[in-house]
A and B are shown apart, each in its own frame.
Chain A
Amino acid sequence: EAGVAQSPRYKIIEKRQSVAFWCNPISGHATLYWYQQILGQGPKLLIQFQNNGVVDDSQLPKDRFSAERLKGVDSTLKIQPAKLEDSAVYLCASSLSPTGELFFGEGSRLTVL
């Protein structure tokens, strides 16, 4: 069974530029999460989707971050404009149910210079 796919694996941009990350969850998983993990810290939830609806985006910096899951499958996370403090690994995870086991992708490592 294919796991959670993410791209790109690595991205280096300058501050104020924009970047987009893509995630394809495990087939059949209705719940999709985007987490931000800064070096030395645990993953921080940015946004959670149930099918194509947003369940929780309370910790998403909406002035610069946006995310969508239009058809209830793939998702994209965008940052515009990026700040230095956005340097982190962006992890996408999916699960069958909102409190079930999370399956993570390998992550997208962002460096903002």
Chain B
Amino acid sequence: RKEVEQDPGPFNVPEGATVAFNCTYSNSASQSFFWYRQDCRKEPKLLMSVYSSGNEDGRFTAQLNRASQYISLLIRDSKLSDSATYLCVVPRYNDMRFGAGTRLTVKP
């Protein structure tokens, strides 16, 4: 099992749609998790941190299921500007491991 595994995508959704991505991880000792957003040909930037069962920030909700070792990212009312690659990041001991990313395209 890969350390961090994400839905491969791509996800193509219309504006206003709700879309969810999943990320599974293998290190059961991980306590905190992150979602980063990466625009085309740009560097990754932090979108959300998840420290307990979940976190909500406006249209974005991240949930954590420790028993099944997965985290999810839900985007409600998708905007064109949400088009990007979403990277799941899981701390491993003293470093950070990235998933391969899930590409989202929001269409008019």
Which residues does A use to contact B, with CB under 8 Å? 33, 35, 41-45, 48, 50, 55-56, 91, 98-99, 101-102, 104-107
B44 touches A43 (CB 8 A): yes
B100 touches A42 (CB 8 A): yes
Q: Which of B54-105 contact A (CB under 8 A)?
A: 87, 89, 91, 94-101
In the assembled complex, the Cα of A79 lies from the Cα of B56 at a distance in Å of 42
| Residues of chain B within 8 A of A91, CB atoms compared | 43-44
Among B34, B43, B89, chain A packs the most CB atoms within 10 A around the CB of: B43
Chain A: CB-nearest residue to B6: A42
Known A101-B46, A101-B49; contact A43-B95, beta-carbon cutoff 8 A:
no
Chain B, interface size category, equals: 20 to 34
Q: What are 7 A-to-B residue pairs whose CB atoms are below 8 Å?
A: A41-B100, A55-B95, A56-B94, A56-B95, A99-B32, A99-B95, A102-B89
B94 touches A98 (CB 8 A): yes
In the assembled complex, the Cα of A41 lies from the Cα of B38 at a distance in Å of 11
In the assembled complex, the Cα of A45 lies from the Cα of B87 at a distance in Å of 14
A99 touches B91 (CB 8 A): yes
Q: How far is the CB of B39 from chain A (nearest CB, A)?
A: 12
A102 touches B97 (CB 8 A): no
Q: Is the C-beta of B107 less than 8 angstroms from some C-beta in chain A?
A: no
| Residues of chain A within 8 A of B45, CB atoms compared | 104
Among A50, A55, A102, chain B packs the most CB atoms within 10 A around the CB of: A102
| Residues of chain A within 8 A of B97, CB atoms compared | 45
Residue from A33, A41, A105 in contact with B95 in the complex, judged by beta carbons closer than 8 Å? A33
B96 touches A102 (CB 8 A): yes
In the assembled complex, the Cα of A98 lies from the Cα of B91 at a distance in Å of 9
In the assembled complex, the Cα of A68 lies from the Cα of B46 at a distance in Å of 26
Among B89, B96, B100, chain A packs the most CB atoms within 10 A around the CB of: B96
A98 touches B95 (CB 8 A): yes
| Residues of chain B within 8 A of A104, CB atoms compared | 43-45
| Residues of chain B within 8 A of A44, CB atoms compared | 98
B98 touches A43 (CB 8 A): yes
